[in-house]
């Protein structure tokens, strides 16, 4: 929750983070589901860990179908005061007049961070813990859930009170009520439309009203639905998840907004408020908590990583330089340096940092994952394929819940056109772990195409279309879907023609005398696509006259020193691409980028001796 207090800020140019932490001691508390790092006392750090574990239990009971556990670690940095908090919080909140935070949730593809102030005041001292964990639970829907509801639910659950034999949910917020009663409330059309760029989300005076009113509207709708046995709030969620804008969806679900404004004003001014009571225990085995002391260097490495993900690059680098000077073998620092280089597009530099991290600590799944992912972006170089495969396999074993590693390994096998059955299972695992990730579903469809199973690929793409979060994503899926549908239609046409031809030959054979029957089958076509048993040849030259047609047919000519060679493939997903002394663009597309490139091409020569054939692999060179 956000607090409205002013404390001194510890700032000393670019050395603020280092200077403020020089004399502090840090410790780490590990629980079954969280890692808490704190510069406070062990008692307080343990209590924070206990509160997170208890809140996880509450959410598991309240939302049994929700994903309450992450595939990557939830790291809680619990600092003792505002000075230490401001050394880490987003820079946008450091400007004068911005909201004074006491906690924030930072979610990335590979990890989750919570930053907490332990000196926050209020009736519920761990309100920030509950607030930020609510954000974690709902983070998968942040792309489409309106900001007012996202923050309103967090404010609603932050006042949770966990007692010995029961849990109280949705207790009224005295602070929010006082603020709303002393100030003019926002029009609902304004409240519903607030986004992350709005001043109502950042500026202290406006932001305070926004959070308070978001809580009030959420509380009113939750209680009203429960008392009247209705589902208006659920109806609203369904509408916005279907791309209906927040204001229109509210009108449809809640009725006239002017009338709702008046009801909300009356609700805020009343003297009695209801809340929910959840019976049952939330026992936590505190004996399972593991407490370790951290050196300042170890703590700085974690804080530098948080700063890197929090877009405070200069502060992150200042800490990393100090960490690596004092501990050149610090794995976490190598990983963060790799992340910073990767985000800046310096792939070679990033790869070196991650490669060193892998060598320093083979038990770090993120180091293995990032090393392999970057190497794959440069093209499936055969000389590195073994290490890429090994690193991705290690990542999946070290963290069986980390979906991206399974997706990358499936994609790697698809690019190599090997272990396709396993690649399919890996894709299914990635989708199972992260059902809302459209990219995983697209990659799963590509694996099925490589397996010559277009019907199943079509089903996967149709399901992916339902999850598209923006028009660009939907257009990309639709284009892929149409291409595969055309491919499937062509296969069915060819199969039908083959059946008809076979039936005709059988009919002609049955009606002819033995002497009139054909002595051989139909003529062998020019290097038939399914016959991959001709002589293997290699040709070096420049790729010219590139032509692609749906869904994945490609024809090209290799201009060599001897003579041009015409080659083709009916499925360029099967072609093994590699690079030598060059780097491919991130969005490499064979049908667009191969024209004019130098390459060594391996192919099956046509059986009729024409010199052309079917492409096996293409190695691109300078």
DSSP result, 124-192: STTHHHHHHHHHHHHGGGTTTS-HHHHHHHHHHHHT-EE-SSEEEE----HHHHHHHHHSPPPPHHHHH
Residue ranges, comma separated, of all CATH 2.40.50.140 domains in the chain are: 536-621
pTM: 0.63
Which residues face 277 on adjacent strands?
Answer: 168
pLDDT score, position 577:
77
The answer to whether the CB of 200 falls within 8 A of the CB of 189 is no
Residue 333 has pLDDT above 70, yes or no: yes
How far, in Å, CA of 192 to CA of 148, rounded? 6
**What single string gives the DSSP state of each residue in 220-235?**
HHHHHHHHHT--HHHH
pLDDT score, position 530:
43
**Which ranges constitute the DSSP H helices of 361-437?**
365-377, 382-398, 403-416, 420-433
Residue ranges, comma separated, of all CATH 1.25.40.10 domains in the chain are: 403-505
pLDDT score, position 219:
95
In the predicted model, what is the mean pLDDT of residues 448-463?
A: 90
pLDDT score, position 362:
75
Label residue 21 by pLDDT band (50, 70, 90). Answer: very low
Residue 612 has pLDDT above 50, yes or no: yes
Choose from 4-13, 58-67, 227-236, 411-420 the range with maximum mean pLDDT: 227-236
* Between 123 and 252, residue with greater pLDDT: 252
Question: What angle separates helix 296-309 from helix 313-326, to the nearest 10 degrees?
Answer: 150
pLDDT score, position 231:
93
**What single string gives the DSSP state of each residue in 98-137?**
B-B-SEEEEE-SS-EEEEEETT--SSSTTHHHHHHHHHHH
Label residue 507 by pLDDT band (50, 70, 90). Answer: confident
In the predicted model, what is the mean pLDDT of residues 458-466?
A: 91
| Tens-digit pLDDT profile for residues 419-449 | 999 999 999 999 999 888 899 999 999 899 8
Residue 519 has pLDDT above 70, yes or no: no
- The pair phi, psi for residue 128, each rounded to 5°, is -65, -40
Label residue 460 by pLDDT band (50, 70, 90). Answer: very high
pLDDT score, position 165:
76
Count of beta carbons in the 10 Å neighbourhood of residue 151: 25
The answer to whether the CB of 221 falls within 8 A of the CB of 232 is yes
Percent of the chain with pLDDT over 70: 84
pLDDT score, position 202:
61
pLDDT score, position 7:
26
pLDDT score, position 115:
92
How far, in Å, CA of 134 to CA of 211, rounded? 15
Q: E strand or H helix at 460, and its extent?
A: helix 454-466
Secondary structure class of 598 (helix, strand, coil): strand
Residue 610 has pLDDT above 70, yes or no: no
The answer to whether the CB of 135 falls within 8 A of the CB of 154 is yes
Closest among 176, 247, 251, 240 to 213, alpha carbons compared: 176
Determine the CATH number of domain 536-621: 2.40.50.140
Residue 611 has pLDDT above 70, yes or no: no
The whole-chain average pLDDT of the chain stands at 82
| Minimum mean pLDDT range among 30-39, 110-119, 166-175, 496-505 | 496-505
* Between 426 and 126, residue with greater pLDDT: 426
| Minimum mean pLDDT range among 185-199, 385-399, 572-586 | 572-586
pLDDT score, position 384:
80
How far, in Å, CA of 200 to CA of 168, rounded? 30
In the predicted model, what is the mean pLDDT of residues 490-514?
A: 71
Burial (CB count <10 Å: 0-12, 13-18, 19+), residue 559: middle
In the predicted model, what is the mean pLDDT of residues 537-548?
A: 88
Q: Which fold has domain 403-505?
A: 1.25.40
Label residue 550 by pLDDT band (50, 70, 90). Answer: low
pLDDT score, position 516:
44
Closest among 236, 228, 237 to 253, alpha carbons compared: 236
pLDDT score, position 106:
84
Q: Which residues of 572-608 are buried (b: 16+ CB within 10 A; e: fewer)?
A: bbbbbbbbeeeebeeebebeeebeebbbbbbbbbbbe
Label residue 23 by pLDDT band (50, 70, 90). Answer: low
Tally of CA atoms within 13 A in the half-sphere of 97 that contains its CB: 5
Residue 66 has pLDDT above 50, yes or no: yes
């Amino acid at each position: 929750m956000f607090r409205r207090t002013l404390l001194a800020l510890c700032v000393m140019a670019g050395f603020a983070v280092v200077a403020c932490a020089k004399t502090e001691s840090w410790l780490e508390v590990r629980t079954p589901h969280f890692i808490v790092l704190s510069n406070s006392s062990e008692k307080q750090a343990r209590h924070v860990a206990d509160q997170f574990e208890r809140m996880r239990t509450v959410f598991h009971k309240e939302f049994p179908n929700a994903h309450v556990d992450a595939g990557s670690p939830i790291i809680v940095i619990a600092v003792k005061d505002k000075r230490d908090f401001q050394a880490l919080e987003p820079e946008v909140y450091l400007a004068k007049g911005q909201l004074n935070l006491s906690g924030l949730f930072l979610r990335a593809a590979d990890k989750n961070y919570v930053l907490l102030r332990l000196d926050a005041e209020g009736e519920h001292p761990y309100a920030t813990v509950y607030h930020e964990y609510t954000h974690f639970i709902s983070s998968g829907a942040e792309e489409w859930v309106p900001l007012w509801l996202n923050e309103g639910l967090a404010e609603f659950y932050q006042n949770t009170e966990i007692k010995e034999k029961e849990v109280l949910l949705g207790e009224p917020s005295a602070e929010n009520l006082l603020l709303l009663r002393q100030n003019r409330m926002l029009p609902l059309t304004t409240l519903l439309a607030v986004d992350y760029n709005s001043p109502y989300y950042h500026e202290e005076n406006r932001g305070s009203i926004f959070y308070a009113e978001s809580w009030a509207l959420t509380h009113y709708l939750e209680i009203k639905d429960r008392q009247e046995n209705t589902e208006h709030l659920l109806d609203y969620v369904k509408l916005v998840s279907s791309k209906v804008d927040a204001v229109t969806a509210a009108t449809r679900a809640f009725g006239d907004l002017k009338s709702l404004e008046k009801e909300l004003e009356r609700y805020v001014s009343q003297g009695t408020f209801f809340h929910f009571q959840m019976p049952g225990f939330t026992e936590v085995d505190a004996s399972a908590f593991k407490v370790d002391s951290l050196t300042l260097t170890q703590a700085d490495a974690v804080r530098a990583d948080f700063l890197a993900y929090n877009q405070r690059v200069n502060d992150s680098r200042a800490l990393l330089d100090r960490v690596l000077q004092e501990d050149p073998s610090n794995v976490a620092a190598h990983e963060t340096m790799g992340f910073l280089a990767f985000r800046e597009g310096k792939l070679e530099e990033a790869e070196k940092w991650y490669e060193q991290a892998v060598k320093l600590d083979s038990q770090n799944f993120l180091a293995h994952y990032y090393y392999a992912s970057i190497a794959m972006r440069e093209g499936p170089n055969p000389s590195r394929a073994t290490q890429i495969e090994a690193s991705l396999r290690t990542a999946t074993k070290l963290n069986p819940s980390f979906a991206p590693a399974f997706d990358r390994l499936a994609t790697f096998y698809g690019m190599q056109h090997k272990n396709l059955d396993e690649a399919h299972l890996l894709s299914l695992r990635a989708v199972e772990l992260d059902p809302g990730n459209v990219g995983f579903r697209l990659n799963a469809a590509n694996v099925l195409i490589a397996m010559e199973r277009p019907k199943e690929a079509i089903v996967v793409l149709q399901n992916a279309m339902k999850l598209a979060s923006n028009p660009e994503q939907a257009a990309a899926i639709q284009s892929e879907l149409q291409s595969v549908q055309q491919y499937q239609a062509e296969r069915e046409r060819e199969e039908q023609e083959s059946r008809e031809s076979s039936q005709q030959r059988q009919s002609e054979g049955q009606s002819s005398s033995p002497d009139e029957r054909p002595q051989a089958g139909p003529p062998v076509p020019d290097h038939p696509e399914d016959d991959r048993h001709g002589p293997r040849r290699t040709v070096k030259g420049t790729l010219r006259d590139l032509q692609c047609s749906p869904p994945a047919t490609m024809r090209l000519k290799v201009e060599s020193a001897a003579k041009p060679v015409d080659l083709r493939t009916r499925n360029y997903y099967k072609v093994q691409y590699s690079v030598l002394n060059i780097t491919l663009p991130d969005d490499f597309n064979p049908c667009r980028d191969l024209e004019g490139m130098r390459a060594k091409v391996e192919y099956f020569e046509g059986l009729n001796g024409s010199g052309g054939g079917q492409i096996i692999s293409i190695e691109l060179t300078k």
